[in-house]
Homo-oligomer: A and B are copies of this chain.
Amino acid sequence: MKKKDLTKEKKILDATVQIIIDEGAAAISTTKVAKKVGISQSNIYLYFKDKRALLDGVYLREIGRLEETTGMKQMLDPNEAMIPRVFSYLKALYDFSLANPHSLFVIEQIKLLSRDFPDYIENLVGPNNPVAQLFETGIKAKVLRPIDRSLSMTIIFSVIRRHTENIQTGVYSENDASFAAVSRMIWDAITIVPYPDELLK
């Protein structure tokens, strides 16, 4: 149960992610993962006690990537003004998604498997639920739309995920649908203030 070889653990997670991307989360099996890594099937159980633990590992790693985003952190910085906080958050998430085009997809796929995974990152970031605090502050400041934040979050994630997928699958190119257009759409949905054109440096 000791986890020494972090390289191997990473390899296992990578292989699992690749299978999700190629065949969907329902296709994951320890057999397949082991074959992909080039280790024996039982070896996986040295690093993850369970298939569920393996899934947890993948899920948490993707979530973690998102959280480490500078935009994510900037969003939570209470010294910033509200509008730049929201705007840079969108920008960061947008960039993140294009740079890691599978990340949101993987998160979604794992949730498909068992519903008892925590919902998105809505309630996950750090102690005291800072996301909740930001939304409350934003609403009081009359910047964010006064509505349950889960709806705003859903829009942010679903639009960016779909946009990324569209580019990925060649529905349109990155030039056709600019960040300006996409972020403005989201902005109009989740805020009640005009889109801050000047922030588009």
Is A147 an interface residue when CB atoms closer than 8 A count as contact? yes
- Check if B148 sits within 8 Å of A171, measured CB to CB: yes
Among the listed stretches A4-12, A69-77, A93-101, A109-117, which one makes contact with chain B, having 4 or more residues with CB under 8 Å of it?
A109-117
Residue in A109, A145, A150, A171 with the greatest tally of chain B CB atoms within 10 Å: A150
Q: Are A166 and B181 in contact (CB under 8 A)?
A: no
Which residues of chain A from 104 to 137 have any CB-CB distance to chain B below 8 Å in the complex?
108-109, 112-115
Contacting residues, chain B, for A23 (C-beta < 8 A): 115
Given A26-B25, A188-B189, A189-B185, CB of A162 within 8 Å of CB of B166: no
Size range of the interface on A?
20 to 34
Contact among B113, B155, B185 with A159 in the assembled complex (CB-CB below 8 Å): B155
Majority secondary structure, A binding face: helix
Which residue of the partner chain B has the closest CB to A161? Answer: B154
A186 cross-chain contacts in B, Cβ below 8 A: 189
Query: What is the bound-complex CA distance between A145 and B113, given in angstroms?
Result: 33
A 8-27 to B, binary, CB cutoff 8 A, 1 in contact else 0: 00000000000000011110
Q: Decide: B148 and A166 in contact? CB cutoff 8 A.
A: yes
| A43 within 8 Å of B (CB atoms) | no
Known A158-B155, A162-B151, A189-B188; contact A24-B182, beta-carbon cutoff 8 A: no
- Quick check: B109 and A112 within 8 Å, CB to CB? yes
Please tell me which one of the listed residues B108, B112, B185 contacts residue A145 in the complex, with CB atoms under 8 A apart.
B185
Q: Mark A168-191, 1 if CB is under 8 A from B, else 0.
A: 000110001100011001101110
Q: Can you list 5 A-B contacts (CB < 8 A)?
A: A24-B115, A26-B112, A148-B177, A154-B159, A186-B189
